[in-house]
Amino acid sequence: MPTPISHAAVGAAIAAWTEPPTPSRRIWLAAVACAALPDIDWPMPMASTSLFGHRAITHSLIFAIAAAVAATLLVFPGPAWKPLRPRIFLTLGLGLLSHSLLDMLSTYSYGVEVLAPFSQQRLRFPWTPLGGHGGIPGQLRQEAVVVFLPAVVLAWLGFKLRRPAIDGSRMLDR
């Protein structure tokens, strides 16, 4: 099961691609929080068949859209943010959706109800490299290779490819 640190790292990597060239601290924090948010269902003592059980409604596409809209409007109010709101919504929505996609890479549980509340079918990718091997140290090693390092590379690429050259012109290798 991906840890909150891995979910947050992916949220930060997604934020690295947000306008302006260097995202504000508020965008970073919102993306990191949104990437971890779906696990608010984890401590709830519900049956796995419940709509409010772990990896059900809070891991769905509907939740990702609704939470991204709410977070965009609540965290980025006022006219100064208006031109950036579509991109911020997309960033936060991708952060929320990334959580479910990472969980679909794990062997933990029966999968993720991506289409809740319309379907209770739980989905998982055919390749599940996370979970079930070597206890907590093994889990952390798996996450480092499969999630954390790719997230760092994705964030680095976001800054490298989007940053203007020192002379103010665009980089030629975009």
Q: List the domain boundaries for the chain.
A: 4-162
Q: What pLDDT is attached to residue 163?
A: 67
CA 14 – CA 151 distance, rounded (Å): 8
Q: What pLDDT is attached to residue 20?
A: 66
CA 128 – CA 117 distance, rounded (Å): 24
Lowest mean pLDDT among 27-36, 39-48, 57-66: 39-48
pLDDT above 70 (res 170): no
* 114 touches 123 (CB < 8 A): yes
Q: What pLDDT is attached to residue 126?
A: 92
Q: What pLDDT is attached to residue 171?
A: 36
172 band by pLDDT with thresholds 50, 70 and 90: very low
Token reading at 109? 């549980």
pLDDT above 50 (res 8): yes
The residue behind tokens 């960033």 is 91
Of 41, 46, 38, residue with least CA distance to 11: 38
**In whole angstroms, what separates CA 157 from the centre of its chain?**
17
